[in-house]
């Protein structure tokens, strides 16, 4: 810890803490504006900013408000693994006395939502769903995620990539469930790595990989990735189809679809058709009704399952925002379902922990669409030889599975 690092982290927090923009975007801007910061200083700043965001509510309770320097010092002392003595040369005398009290303070008298670092509305909902498991789940969501890779089965296999990474001195192991996944212990920058540039690997959480494997598209099929974004799952689906058949990648965001194009080029896929749509009711969607074997709906959601990577989401989401998302999710699911042929399969997925975005959307859809039935996710995983015990839905979380939290339901059109 140096005075420069503390100063830089305080300035970065001042940019991030208004929480008007996603924290990763605000932090990237801070780093662009401060090109002279070295690699170690950047790591310190990023860890401190994300650490404060993870524990913002309890830190505010301890500091009596949102003073950036105080929040930072409190996080460093309580969660940053620093001994109090290390602060002595870095802070003023009065500050040191205050920090000593903050480090020793107990949170027992605070409301549970403060102790668990959640806004009240989110705590109420998660408590109702997860009950006694909630502290363990939040503990896992408050730890940084590992770096997962997915190998591209079109041009390599997992054993070859694992061997190469291990030869380079990286601690890499096969992920437990996805047959295409590799988990790295550290977080090397891979954008310039030959394996990445030649399309042999992509960065993708194991949970995300499992969603593609649940859809299980086959060679020659007509498949649609309805909310394709920058195509993380599109590329997996295309590879599972061995680059045959046709894979439509829809999204309402031109920027995200544009980011898909260079990734497609690297991956060697030639069966993907990116398609910008104005909304789920776009005439392009209507023209393709009844033509698809498989549809993935990776719905826009609160992202609460990704708090390991985006801890700011818990402070930036609101109840009103959740209600808007729920209406959008129901509408997208209904529109995407019209694409399926009889016998076709749809996977509805989110990276949300909230019942309202998950089971409730699927249950309401099934009640209104008797021509669809739920296929137990556990049975689909078994058929795919993925040894992951699940019942009706796929429900992953970092405490139980080491992945981001994902929800998925498999629906089949019966008529």
Ligand X SMILES: C[S@@+](CC[C@H](N)C(=O)[O-])C[C@H]1O[C@@H](n2cnc3c(N)ncnc32)[C@H](O)[C@@H]1O
Binding residues: 251, 298
Cα-flanking dihedrals φ and ψ of residue 5, to 5°? -65, -45
Q: How far is the CB of 24 from ligand X (least distance, A)?
A: 15
Where in 327-405 does DSSP place strands (E)?
A: 340-350, 372-375, 394-396
Q: Of the two residues 221 and 251, which places its CB atom closer to ligand X in the complex?
A: 251
CA distance 415 to 402: 38
Q: 76 vs 396, which CB is nearer to ligand X?
A: 396
Q: Which is nearer to ligand X, 83 or 283 (CB)?
A: 283
Quick check: 103 binds ligand X (CB under 6 A)? no
127 binds ligand X (CB under 6 A): no
Piece of 118-126, 222-230, 356-364, 376-384 that binds ligand X (CB under 6 A): 222-230
Looking at the Cβ atoms of 147 and 252, the one nearer to ligand X is 252
Min dist. Cβ of residue 347 to ligand X (A): 11
Q: For the purposes of burial, counting CB atoms within 10 Å of the CB of 83, is it exposed (0-12), middle (13-18) or buried (19 or more)? A: exposed
**How far apart are alpha carbons 206 and 151 in whole angstroms?**
11
Contact between 285 and 335 (Cβ < 8 Å): yes
**DSSP code of 159?**
H
- Residue 237's CB is within 10 A of a number of other CB atoms, namely 27
Binding span for ligand X by CB under 6 A among 61-69, 130-138, 173-181, 275-283: 275-283
Cα distances (angstroms) measured from residue 410 to each of 52, 193, 239, 264, 387: 38, 36, 20, 26, 17
- Is 269 one of the binding residues for ligand X (CB under 6 A)? no
User: Residue 241: CB partners within 8 Å, gap ≥ 6?
Assistant: 217, 218, 219, 220, 221, 223, 247, 271
Among 228, 264, 353, 381, binds ligand X (CB under 6 A): 228
Angle at 312 between CA 310 and CA 316, to 5 degrees: 125
253 near ligand X, rule: CB under 6 A: yes
Q: How far is the CB of 257 from ligand X (least distance, A)?
A: 8
Count of residues that bind ligand X according to CB under 6 A:
18
Which of 226, 248, 292, 348 touches ligand X by CB under 6 A?
Answer: 226
From candidates 60, 117, 148, 280, binder to ligand X by CB under 6 A: 280
What residue numbers does the annotated binding site for S-adenosyl-L-methionine cover?
A: 251, 298
Q: Which of 322, 227, 237 is nearest to 277 (CA)?
A: 227
Smallest gap from residue 403 Cβ to ligand X (A): 14
Which stretch in 16-24, 111-119, 221-229, 357-365 sits in contact with ligand X by CB under 6 A?
A: 221-229
User: In angstroms, what is the minimal distance from the CB of 251 to ligand X?
Assistant: 5
391: DSSP letter? S
The minimum distance between CB 357 and ligand X, in angstroms, equals 11
- Closer residue to ligand X (CB): 226 or 372: 226
Contact 193, 209 (CB under 8 A): no
Among 80, 146, 140, 98, residue whose Cα is nearest residue 116: 140
Binder of ligand X out of 199, 229, 398, 402 (CB under 6 A): 229
Q: Name which position in 233, 308, 314, 401 contacts ligand X (CB under 6 A).
A: 233
Site residues (CB under 6 A) for ligand X, limited to 327-346: 332
* CA nearest neighbour of 238 among 205, 207, 263, 259: 263
If one asks whether residue 357 binds ligand X (CB under 6 A), the answer comes out as no
Mask for 283-312, x = binds ligand X (CB under 6 A): ---------------x-x------------
Note whether 388 and 177 are within 8 A (CB).
yes
Whichever of 42 and 256 has its CB closer to ligand X, that residue is: 256
Question: Is 351 a residue of the active site?
Answer: yes
Residue number with CB closer to ligand X (250 or 348): 250
Residue 305: CB minimum distance to ligand X, A:
10
CA 245/CA 223 separation, integer angstroms = 8
Axis-axis angle for helices 254-267, 232-240 (nearest 10): 40
CA nearest neighbour of 98 among 108, 87, 89: 87
The residues that touch ligand X, with contacts defined as CB under 6 A, are 226-230, 232-233, 250-253, 256, 277, 279-280, 298, 300, 332
Task: Give the residue numbers annotated as catalytic, written as ranges.
Answer: 351
């Amino acid at each position: 810890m140096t005075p420069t690092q503390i100063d830089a982290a305080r300035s970065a927090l001042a940019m991030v803490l208004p929480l008007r923009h996603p924290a990763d975007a605000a932090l990237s801007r801070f780093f662009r504006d401060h090109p002279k910061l070295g690699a170690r200083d950047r790591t310190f700043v990023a860890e401190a900013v994300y650490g404060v965001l993870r524990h913002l509510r309890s830190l505010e309770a301890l500091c009596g408000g949102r003073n950036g320097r105080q929040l930072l010092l409190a996080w460093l002392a309580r969660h940053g693994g620093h001994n109090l003595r290390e602060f002595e040369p870095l802070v003023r005398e009065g500050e040191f006395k205050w920090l000593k009290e903050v480090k020793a303070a107990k949170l027992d008298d605070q409301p549970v939502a403060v102790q668990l670092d959640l806004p009240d509305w989110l705590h109420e909902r998660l408590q109702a769903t997860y009950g006694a498991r909630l502290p363990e789940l939040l503990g896992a969501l408050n730890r940084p995620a590992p770096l997962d890779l997915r190998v591209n089965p079109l041009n390599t296999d997992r054993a070859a990539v694992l061997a190469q990474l291990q030869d380079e001195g990286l601690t890499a192991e096969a992920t437990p469930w996805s047959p295409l996944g590799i988990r790295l212990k550290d977080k090397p920058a891979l954008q310039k790595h030959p394996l990445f540039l030649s399309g042999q690997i992509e960065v993708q959480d194991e949970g995300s990989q499992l969603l593609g494997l649940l859809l299980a598209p086959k060679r020659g099929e007509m498949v649609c990735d309805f909310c394709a974004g920058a195509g993380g799952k599109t590329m997996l689906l295309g590879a599972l189809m061995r680059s045959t058949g046709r894979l439509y990648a829809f999204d309402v965001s031109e920027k995200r679809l544009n980011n898909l194009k260079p990734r497609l080029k690297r991956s060697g896929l030639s069966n993907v058709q990116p398609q910008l749509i104005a909304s789920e009711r776009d005439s392009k969607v209507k023209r393709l009704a009844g033509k698809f074997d498989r549809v993935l709906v990776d719905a826009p959601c609160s992202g609460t399952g990704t708090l390991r990577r985006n801890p700011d989401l818990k402070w930036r989401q609101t109840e009103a925002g959740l209600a808007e998302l729920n209406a959008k999710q129901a509408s997208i699911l209904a529109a995407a379902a019209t694409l399926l042929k009889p016998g076709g399969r749809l996977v509805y997925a989110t990276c949300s922990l909230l019942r309202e975005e998950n089971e409730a959307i699927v249950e309401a859809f099934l009640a209104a669409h008797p021509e669809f039935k739920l296929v137990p996710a556990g049975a689909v995983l078994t058929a795919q030889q993925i040894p992951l015990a699940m019942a009706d839905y796929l429900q992953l979380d970092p405490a139980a599975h080491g992945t981001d939290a994902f929800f998925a339901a498999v629906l089949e059109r019966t008529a």
